[in-house]
């Protein structure tokens, strides 16, 4: 009888071990934008690929639109292990203590995606991601959004037009300097609060790529939009380092593969999504869209250029210079 009990006990234990082994590993992927954006699409694509490649051993739960956490909270949640993956804007790493990512906020640093990719897909990009290790965070990839434009309730054509405007920015000292260079008053604010702040006049204007302006309906409460393409918005896909390193090696390799595929997809979709969003904003007729002349563009660029020198002490002169070298940008030749 005793032996029989023992056998039954062993069998039950073995069964629960198998059941435990079959429990999928859950990755909670939290983000703040809409599903129908470059980041939203890429997160869903990563989910699909990760679940496919691991044969269901990994389950990815995507929480879009700040439904789980807002900007600041999501970073804390990742460090605490309450979520496992984020794709945080490069402008939002200052509070974590990795302010070098703000280099991507320098106005007019990149003329196009090709120049940008020389940095994000090369050694400079990798070195920046590796700086996150010391914070318990693992940098996995860069995902593009796109180039930002300014909006307000008045036409913005010359630097003078920005004087005294309260402009919403992400939590980046470089963006703060950029807005001050234009004579406007920067206001740091979580992404989830921007629409209401624009609607109620808490802020007068903002900057974002078209996909965000459109999907958050900001264009409905901004009468004027100027297609400046003056700065870049992109993301670092990050995970909790302890979680990542604790994964079985075969699973981690499959997730790396899924991430590489999602990154290619993200960077293709970014252009498409932003072009589509611009068409949709145009079609809405709710905001006047203005394309600056080459002279107006140059005047804006010259006004904002002082941010490059002003921010050397924060970001590091060498880092800025190494990016100029990579892209061929020369601020002295404007």
Give the count of residues interacting with ligand LMR (CB under 6 A). Answer: 9
Could you tell me the smallest distance in angstroms from the CB atom of residue 234 to ligand LMR?
Answer: 9
66 binds ligand LMR (CB under 6 A): no
Could you tell me the smallest distance in angstroms from the CB atom of residue 318 to ligand LMR?
Answer: 26
Restricted to residues 117-156, the positions that interact with ligand LMR (CB under 6 A) are 145
Cα–Cα nearest to 234, from 33, 13, 21: 33
**For ligand LMR, which is the closer residue by CB, 53 or 167?**
167
Angle of helix 317-327 relative to helix 113-120, nearest 10 degrees, comes to: 130
Task: Give the one residue of 27, 28, 30, 32 binding ligand LMR; rule: CB under 6 A.
Answer: 32
* Phi-psi map region of 4: left, alpha, beta (phi>0 left; psi -120 to 50 alpha): alpha
89 binds ligand LMR (CB under 6 A): yes
Could you tell me the smallest distance in angstroms from the CB atom of residue 159 to ligand LMR?
Answer: 22
Cα–Cα nearest to 90, from 293, 281, 323: 323
Could you tell me the smallest distance in angstroms from the CB atom of residue 149 to ligand LMR?
Answer: 12
Task: Give the one residue of 29, 30, 33, 222 binding ligand LMR; rule: CB under 6 A.
Answer: 33
Cα–Cα nearest to 194, from 31, 76, 29, 33: 33
**For ligand LMR, which is the closer residue by CB, 50 or 210?**
210
**For ligand LMR, which is the closer residue by CB, 233 or 305?**
233
208 binds ligand LMR (CB under 6 A): yes
30 binds ligand LMR (CB under 6 A): no
CB-based contacts of 303, cutoff 8 Å, min separation 6: 159, 181, 182
CB atoms within 10 A of CB 4: 8
Give the bridge partners for 289, in sequence order: 225
210 binds ligand LMR (CB under 6 A): no
Rounded Cα distance between 201 and 196, Å, is 8
**For ligand LMR, which is the closer residue by CB, 53 or 175?**
175
CB-based contacts of 132, cutoff 8 Å, min separation 6: 93, 96, 98, 138, 139, 236, 238, 241
Site string for ligand LMR, 180-199 (x = CB under 6 A): -----------x--------
Print burial letters for 92-127: b (CB count within 10 Å at least 16), e (below 16). Answer: bbbebebbbbbbbbbbbbbeebebbbbbbeeebbee
SS3 of 169-228: the string is: ECCCHHHHHHHHHCCCEEEECCHHHHHHHHHHCCCCEEEECHHHHHHCCHHHHCCEEEEE
Could you tell me the smallest distance in angstroms from the CB atom of residue 302 to ligand LMR?
Answer: 25
Could you tell me the smallest distance in angstroms from the CB atom of residue 253 to ligand LMR?
Answer: 28
Site string for ligand LMR, 219-248 (x = CB under 6 A): --------------x---------------
170 binds ligand LMR (CB under 6 A): yes
75 binds ligand LMR (CB under 6 A): no
**For ligand LMR, which is the closer residue by CB, 54 or 88?**
88
Residue pair 87/235 in contact (Cβ under 8 Å)? The answer is yes
Residues engaged in binding ligand LMR (CB under 6 A): 32-33, 89, 145, 170, 191, 208, 212, 233
């Amino acid at each position: 009888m005793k032996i029989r009990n023992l056998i039954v006990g062993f069998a039950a234990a073995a069964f629960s071990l198998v059941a435990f082994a079959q429990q999928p590993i859950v990755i909670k992927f939290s983000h703040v934008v809409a599903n129908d954006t470059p980041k939203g699409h890429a997160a869903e694509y990563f989910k699909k690929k990760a679940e496919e490649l691991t044969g269901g051993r990994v389950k990815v739960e995507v929480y879009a639109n700040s439904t789980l956490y807002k900007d600041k909270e999501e970073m804390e949640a990742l460090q605490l292990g309450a979520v496992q993956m984020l794709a945080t804007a490069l402008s939002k790493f200052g509070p974590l203590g990795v302010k070098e990512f703000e280099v991507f906020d320098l106005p007019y640093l990149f003329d196009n995606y090709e120049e940008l990719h020389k940095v994000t897909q090369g050694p400079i990009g990798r070195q920046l991601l590796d700086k996150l290790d010391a914070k318990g965070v693992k940098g996995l990839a860069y995902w593009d959004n796109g180039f930002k434009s300014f909006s307000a309730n008045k036409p913005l054509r010359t630097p003078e037009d920005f004087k005294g405007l309260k402009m919403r920015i992400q939590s980046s000292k470089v963006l703060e300097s950029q807005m001050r260079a234009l004579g406007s008053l920067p206001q740091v604010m979580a992404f989830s609060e921007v629409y209401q702040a624009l609607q109620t006049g808490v802020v007068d204007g903002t900057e974002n790529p078209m996909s965000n302006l459109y999907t958050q309906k900001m264009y409905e409460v901004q009468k004027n939009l100027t297609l400046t393409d003056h700065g870049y918005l992109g993301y670092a896909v990050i995970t909790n380092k302890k979680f990542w390193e604790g994964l079985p090696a075969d699973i981690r390799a499959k997730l790396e593969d899924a991430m590489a595929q999602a990154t290619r997809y993200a960077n293709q979709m970014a252009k498409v999504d932003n072009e589509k969003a611009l068409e949709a904003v145009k079609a809405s007729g709710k905001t006047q869209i203005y394309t600056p002349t080459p002279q107006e563009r140059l005047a804006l660029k010259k006004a904002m250029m002082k941010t490059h020198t002003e921010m050397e002490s924060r970001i590091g002169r060498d880092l800025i210079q190494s990016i100029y070298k990579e892209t061929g940008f020369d601020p002295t030749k404007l």
